[in-house]
Amino acid sequence: MIDSKSSYQIYENNSQEIAFLQRMRTLKFYKFVSRSYKPVTFYLWNKAHLKASSFLGTDALETKFLVENLQTDWGIHKQAVIRSGDIIWIKFPLELLEEGEI
C-alpha cells in the first residue's frame, strides 16, 4: 500500500519529468526555428502583426525574441527584440526534415 507521502513523491517526480520534457521540446523548437532562416509573423495583443525575415533566438526565460529585418509602421529594423508578453501567437512555416525532429 502506498502512503500519502509516497504518493506525493511519485507525483512530484512525474511533474518534474514532464516539465523537463516540455522544456527540452521548447528548446528544440527554438533551435530549429533559429537555424531555418524563414519568415516569421508575430501577432500582438493590439491586433497588429509584425513580420520578420528570420527568427534569431530567445533569451533563457523566453521573455524576448531576437529577429532580423522586422517590418513595422516605422520602417524595417535590421535587428530587433520583441517582448514575448506582447505576443499572442507566432506564425512560422514548419517543415520536418527528419522524422520526429520537432
Give pLDDT tens digits for 23-41: 888 888 888 888 888 899 9
Cα–Cα distance between 22 and 35 in angstroms, integer? 20
pLDDT of residue 102: 52
pLDDT of residue 89: 93
Cα–Cα distance between 102 and 99 in angstroms, integer? 8
pTM: 0.70
Domains delineated in the chain: 4-91 (2.30.30.100)
pLDDT of residue 100: 58
Buried b (16+ CB within 10 A) or exposed e, 17-35: eeeeeeeeeeeeeeebbbe
**Element at 54 (helix H, strand E):** strand 54-58
pLDDT class of 2 with cuts at 50, 70, 90: low
57, three cell numbers: 533566438
